[in-house]
């Protein structure tokens, strides 16, 4: 995966005693001066419609190349429970990462590349799942 330097990056170290006003650091420098890299923007996205189910189902298979995903719950009445975790146990109303009410939307901010599972409170509607890759 091609990566590029981005910024600005906030450094946690305090300014020197002779720094006056706003302290500007080079873009892409981390706390120890190392280069900060993030993936290039996504050039490809796959949209999949997945029918609602009251038994846990896979919304996204694990994908090491994934740089993001989003989920829209199209149900007008059901809550969609989403589990993005490698922790053992099936997704449920009491064991989930995110609860999407009717019409709810979620974007993954963490670049999670593992399996994503879901379950609805009733089998109406669907999940519109978009996976973003380079």
Three-state secondary structure of 32-98: CCCECEEECCCCEEEEEEEECCCCCEEEECCCCCCCEEEEEECCCCCCEEEEECCCCCCCECCECCE
Instruction: Clarify whether residues 98 and 66 are in a common domain.
Output: yes
Is the same domain home to 33 and 73? Answer: no
- Asked if 73 and 118 sit in the same domain, the reply is yes
Residue 110 confidence (pLDDT): 85
pLDDT at 107 over 80: yes
16 and 56 part of one domain: no
Give the confidence band of 57 by pLDDT, cuts at 50, 70, 90.
very high
Range of the domain at 5: 1-40
Total number of domains in the chain = 2
């Amino acid at each position: 995966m091609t990566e590029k330097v981005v910024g600005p990056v906030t450094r946690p170290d305090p300014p020197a005693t002779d720094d006056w006003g706003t302290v500007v650091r080079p873009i892409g420098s981390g706390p120890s001066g190392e280069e900060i890299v993030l993936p290039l923007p996504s050039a490809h996205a796959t949209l999949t419609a997945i029918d609602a189910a009251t038994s846990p189902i896979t919304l996204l298979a694990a994908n090491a190349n994934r740089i993001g995903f989003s989920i829209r719950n199209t149900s007008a009445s059901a809550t969609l429970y989403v589990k993005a975790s490698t922790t053992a146990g099936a997704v449920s109303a009491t064991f989930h990462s995110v609860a999407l009410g009717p019409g709810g939307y979620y974007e993954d901010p963490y670049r999670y590349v593992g399996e994503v599972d879901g379950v609805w409170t009733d089998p109406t509607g669907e999940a519109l799942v978009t996976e973003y890759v380079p």
